[in-house]
Amino acid sequence: MSASFNSLIFLQDGLLNRSWVAGVLPSEIMFSHIATQFVVLLGQTGITLIFILLVFGIPCQGPLGWLIVLTILQGFAGMCFGNLISNNLFLTINLLLISQVTCFQRCSRSRRRRCNVRSGASTRCYC
């Protein structure tokens, strides 16, 4: 959501028009947004994985490299979605509503699955 709000605030405050008057190219503006959001994304990914693996002690069931790559790609996809909706919506309330609807929709569809312990095949639950 931060990518969408940053892009919308950049447009609403008139910073985009001032940047174009100063001679900044559109590709430079887009690269600066992507670069700053990617740095934030790397920090959030690092802190999240440190807490998951070291503080809470949740074991990683696969290669750690793939975990890092997939987490960064998931964050990059969210960043691209935020830029997409901020380019199509011009009011902050609409942007907030659309971003919350997509987030809560995913959360409401995910549910806990019960493990079938009676089968005896596996006592672990991968839910």
DSSP states of 25-73 as a string?
A: -HHHHHHHHHHHHHHHHHHHHHHHHHIIIIIS-PPPSS-HHHHHHHHHH
CA gap 2, 33 in Å, rounded: 11
What is the pTM assigned to this prediction? Answer: 0.66
Residue showing tokens 């960043």: 79
**Single-letter amino acid, residue 4:** S
Question: What would the pLDDT profile of 14-60 be if each residue is shown by its tens digit?
Answer: 777 888 888 989 889 888 888 988 999 999 999 999 999 999 999 88
- Phi-psi sector, 34: left (phi>0), alpha (psi -120 to 50), beta: alpha
Q: Which residue has the higher pLDDT, 96 or 4?
A: 96
What is the domain partition of the chain in residue ranges? 2-92
**Single-letter amino acid, residue 93:** I
Question: What would the pLDDT profile of 70-122 be if each residue is shown by its tens digit?
Answer: 999 998 888 888 778 777 777 777 777 777 777 666 666 665 555 555 555 55
The predicted structure's pLDDT at residue 89: 75
Per-residue pLDDT for 63 more than 60? yes
Per-residue pLDDT for 126 more than 50? no
CA gap 96, 102 in Å, rounded: 10
